[in-house]
Amino acid sequence: MDAGGAVKGAAEQGLRLLDKVTEFRFALALLSVAVALDVALAWIAKRNVLNMDWSTLDAGGMAKLGIAVVAYVFWMAALSPLVRAVLEYVLMLLGNTRLGRALSSVVEPEHETAERRYFWGRVRVNDAKLRALKDKDTFWIAQVEKAEAKVREEWNEMAALASLSFSVAGLMLTDWWTSEYSIAGEISAWLGGYGGRMESIATLGTLACVVVIAFPWLYRVRAHHPSDAWMDHPELAKECLDDIEAIRRNARL
């Protein structure tokens, strides 16, 4: 596949990804309600969503359920964003340490990523914007504006998904840790009854599920800011590749 085909394929995958993001957000929203209800029932009636007998819920239980609804809204709207911001700040501090920089460099060196994208005919949006403004090229100014709008849309979608995934992961951990009557608690207790390594397997399985749900947030923490977004610009990409080759030739002299 040539560079143009690779870029076109990447653009189509990006559009499909946005559709999947929307579907995943809806699924996570439903999951958050289900997990929150499971936590509330374990606290109120020592039951879960699978074995709850709603006819036994009295006025006191309904009042507690109302409190649980308020707690759920408070977690999703206020407490979860606060906890997430604190964790992201701590991770940012760790990323600025020598160990954090070493781990980031192991994933993929920045110059290798940039050179590969130049080969595909892509450049940073900021670089394309500076060139378009310098040349007063109306065509590329319009292309840059479209690229910036697309980047903002994608970033906002991923930010909303990351926030929701963090909130749901927190609810899942609460469901697992706080009560033996929840679904996660009953599964862990049931597997633990077999002895041996089953309890450890149940714990690892639960943690794996939490990591899968939290993956959009983990990915966004690692992802670059929109200022590092890229767009198609074959002419400028070729100039960047030529500059890299010139630097390499001079280094060998």
Q: Which of 160, 221, 223 is nearest to 26 (CA)?
A: 160
The share of the chain scoring above pLDDT 70, in percent, equals 78
- For the ranges 11-20, 35-44, 127-136, 202-211, the one whose mean pLDDT is highest: 127-136
In angstroms, the CA 7 to CA 157 distance is 22
Segment holding 75, helix H or strand E: none
DSSP E strands: which ranges in the chain?
Answer: 122-124, 230-232
Whether the Cβ atoms of residue 48 and residue 36 lie closer than 8 Å to each other: no
Q: Name the pTM for this structure.
A: 0.73
The pLDDT of residue 197 is above 50: yes
Q: Which of 43, 27, 50, 77 is nearest to 174 (CA)?
A: 43
- Which segments of 179-252 does DSSP mark as H helices, in order? 183-192, 198-222, 234-252
pLDDT category at 158 given cuts 50, 70, 90 is confident
Ranges 27-31, 191-195, 209-213, 245-249: which has the least confidence: 191-195
Domain that holds residue 154: 3-252
Mean pLDDT of the chain: 81
Q: DSSP assignment of 20-62, as one string? A: HHHHHHHHHHHHHHHHHHHHHHHHHTS--TTT--GGG--HHHH
Beta bridge partners of 123: 231
Phi, psi (deg, nearest 5) at residue 143: -65, -40
Q: Which of 206, 174, 213, 169 is nearest to 187 (CA)?
A: 206
pLDDT category at 192 given cuts 50, 70, 90 is low
For residues 25-41, average pLDDT: 90
Task: Count the domains in the chain.
Answer: 1
Q: What share of the chain is helix, strand, coil (3-state, %, to 5)?
A: 85, 0, 15
**SS3 category, 21:** helix
Where does residue 115 rank: exposed (0-12), middle (13-18), buried (19+ CB within 10 A)?
middle
Q: DSSP assignment of 76-137, as one string? A: IIIIHHHHHHHHHHHHHHHHTSHHHHHHHHHH--HHHHHHHHHHTTEEEHHHHHHHHHHHT-
